[in-house]
Structure 1
Amino acid sequence: MINPDRPEGYVSFDRVHDTLPEPTPVEVSGDVTLNILHVSGPAPALVFVHGGLGSLWNPYPQLHAFRGEQELLTYALAGNGESSYRPAQSIEGHVADLKHLLDVVGVDRPILHGHSYGTAIAIEYAKRHPVRGLVLHAGGDHDLTPAWEKPLLRLFLALRLYRLLGRNALMDVLARWVACHDDTPQAVINDILQSNPMPRRRSAWRTVTEAFWGYDGRDDLDCIEAPTLVLHGPADRIVPIDVARETARRLPEAVFCRIQRTGHVAMMERPIVYNRLLRALVRAVQTSRDLDAVLQGIEEVQRRDRGWYVAE
């Protein structure tokens, strides 16, 4: 019987959190220590980069699904979570942090997964360093900042309102009407908010305003030759779906997939479909097959799932 309160294959954040090791601090340079969660497994490693005001726990459904299948690494960006503050905020600085982190933990040529503003870091990393695959979810190479974000964040910083944030009715409303599809169950929204509480550190908010605002990575995008999944939800009210679609067109080896009935956090809203697409990318990388061909091979499965995603 289908549970209307949770999508198929859904596992609660509490269950995932309780079965994984606690994150640990790792010094990646003289200035920066990052809080990371690293789980051993076969290569290629899946490395997750969260977005602005995000958390290393954002990909909790994928951490659960891929544990034992692949090596996993997720971390809090400098200035976020329990990571130290980065003295100078910039995309280049965060890319350098990621390179140092991968060197420290011994991860070579990962499949790099960026979410929201984290897609900017993933894109710029892939321009500079080899990756075996790339996943860009709910983001792209430009126009990542919605019109309402700048006045809102400036207000929060000026009045230090971030110090008052907690789980409340306002956060529920924002999650439902800004981040999620209308059909996303409340239980999933509860887990989204629990895994990604709004930060009370000023440095996390400054990471957004100083590093990500104005990002435009369209130059030299064609130098990224790794197979790339560009995944987006049609109900995303933060980053327009056309931004993702245009990004995919500029990448030489990209496939754009629209995940039906999802918003800005499809990886949590429809995890079984999302994970199926990630496994297709892993399979393409491991077998050196064309990503589009691998995706065509699972079309029958997706038809049985009532067309949950559409490859374009």
Structure 2
Amino acid sequence: MTRLTAASLDGSPIKLGKVTLQVAHAPGKSPAIVFVHGGLGSRLNWCLQWDYFRSQGQEILAYDLAGHGQSGRYQRYSIGRHRRDLTRLLQHFKIHRPILCCHSYGVPVGLEWVRRYEATALIAIGGGTHNLTPWWEIPLIKFFALGGHHLYHWQLVQGLLRSLMVSESNAALIEFHDRNQVPSDAHPYEAIEAFWGYDAQHHPLKCPVTVITGSDDPMFPPTMGHQWLANLLHDQPRSQHITVSNVGHLVMAEAPEVVNQAISDWIHTDVQP
């Protein structure tokens, strides 16, 4: 596997309205692939996909949501504001009909966007339209927002998490974890509250959806993916659901080849209306 160079996802700050986002962009072939990370994540969550599609010469864009990574902050967060940021970002780069690839809480951002604008496809990994917050998440996130995040300043804690999450036989997962440490400041934990209680109303989408779930994902299990697909097929018969065996919530890291292939399938499929 080709190692990712440090500069390729460094990106640069772009001011959009009242917020400045940290954005990595590589020009290339259409359709552009736009990556939207989930709660507590950053643009670096897509390091394995970035490496692959950059080598393919595809136009790609990844950014830190407001309140995450190196992006600026809002005093108050909402999915609507995240969707507006994405709209302005795509207008900035003159990107039309992208493939939106979203993970976890990033899925509602992509979902709200494709309800209003044309896209080639939405890739929804470990996320959907409702019931996205497990019962234990709210007290846990509140603990870290109030001060528990300081624990992650300790290298011992980061090392322990790495040993618990990473199999030494999975080179891709090792690379992912080394580039994506758990946030050690309060703002991402505060920003994640905007996604709690998300329950999308049914509106026809403007593109097909590929739903990807890990068989061992406790947050968005395959049953939820099946239920969403059943609803999607009424409006978008080209939608599909992929379940990846022996994989948890971080499908793009645990099985990057599956995500890369799912994106590639839409690049090479004529889906013009």
For the Cα contact (< 8 Å) 2:122–2:210, is it kept in 1? yes
Q: Which residue of 2 aligns with 1:195?
A: 179
The alignment yields a C-alpha RMSD, in angstroms, of: 2.1
TM-superposed deviation, 1:56: 0.3
Report the CA distance shift for 1:184/1:264 in structure 2 as closer, same or farther (over 3 A). Answer: farther
For the Cα contact (< 8 Å) 1:135–1:228, is it kept in 2? yes
1:65 maps onto 2:47 in alignment: no
If the length of structure 1 is used for normalisation, what is the TM-score?
Answer: 0.79
If the length of structure 2 is used for normalisation, what is the TM-score?
Answer: 0.89
Q: How far apart are the structure 2 equivalents of 1:185 and 1:235? A: 19
TM-superposed deviation, 1:122: 0.7
1:130 maps onto 2:118 in alignment: yes
1:282 maps onto 2:267 in alignment: yes
TM-superposed deviation, 1:92: 0.4
For the Cα contact (< 8 Å) 2:15–2:21, is it kept in 1? yes
Report the CA distance shift for 1:173/1:75 in structure 2 as closer, same or farther (over 3 A). Answer: same
1:27 maps onto 2:22 in alignment: no
Which of 91, 103, 122 aligns to 1:115? It is: 103
1:54 maps onto 2:41 in alignment: yes
Q: How far apart are the structure 2 equivalents of 1:242 and 1:54? A: 24
Q: How far apart are the structure 1 equivalents of 2:63 and 2:169? A: 27
TM-superposed deviation, 1:220: 2.5
Which of 142, 145, 150 aligns to 2:138? It is: 150
Q: How far apart are the structure 2 equivalents of 1:94 and 1:43? A: 24
1:231 maps onto 2:212 in alignment: yes
Per the alignment, in what secondary structure is the counterpart of residue 80 of structure 1? Answer: coil
Report the CA distance shift for 1:18/1:48 in structure 2 as closer, same or farther (over 3 A). Answer: same
Which of 188, 199, 202 aligns to 1:220? It is: 202
TM-superposed deviation, 1:86: 1.8
For the Cα contact (< 8 Å) 2:103–2:126, is it kept in 1? yes
TM-superposed deviation, 1:257: 0.8
Letter in 2 for 1:228: V
* Counterparts of residues 1-312 of structure 1 (less than 5 Å): 10-11=1-2, 15-18=3-6, 20=8, 22-29=10-17, 31-67=18-54, 68-158=56-146, 160-166=147-153, 167=155, 168-172=158-162, 175=165, 185=169, 187-209=171-193, 211-217=194-200, 219-221=201-203, 223-251=204-232, 252-253=235-236, 254-284=239-269, 287-288=270-271
What CA deviation, in whole Å up to 9, does each residue of 1:151-178 have, x standing for no partner? 11111223x12123145344236635xx
Report how many residues are paired: 265
What CA deviation, in whole Å up to 9, does each residue of 1:59-107 have, x standing for no partner? 1111111114311000000011110002320000100010011111221
Q: How far apart are the structure 1 equivalents of 2:182 and 2:118? A: 33
For the Cα contact (< 8 Å) 1:142–1:243, is it kept in 2? no
Report the CA distance shift for 1:260/1:90 in structure 2 as closer, same or farther (over 3 A). Answer: same
Per the alignment, in what secondary structure is the counterpart of residue 107 of structure 2? Answer: helix
Segments of 5+ residues of structure 1 without an aligned counterpart are 1-9, 177-182, 291-312
For the Cα contact (< 8 Å) 1:80–1:201, is it kept in 2? no
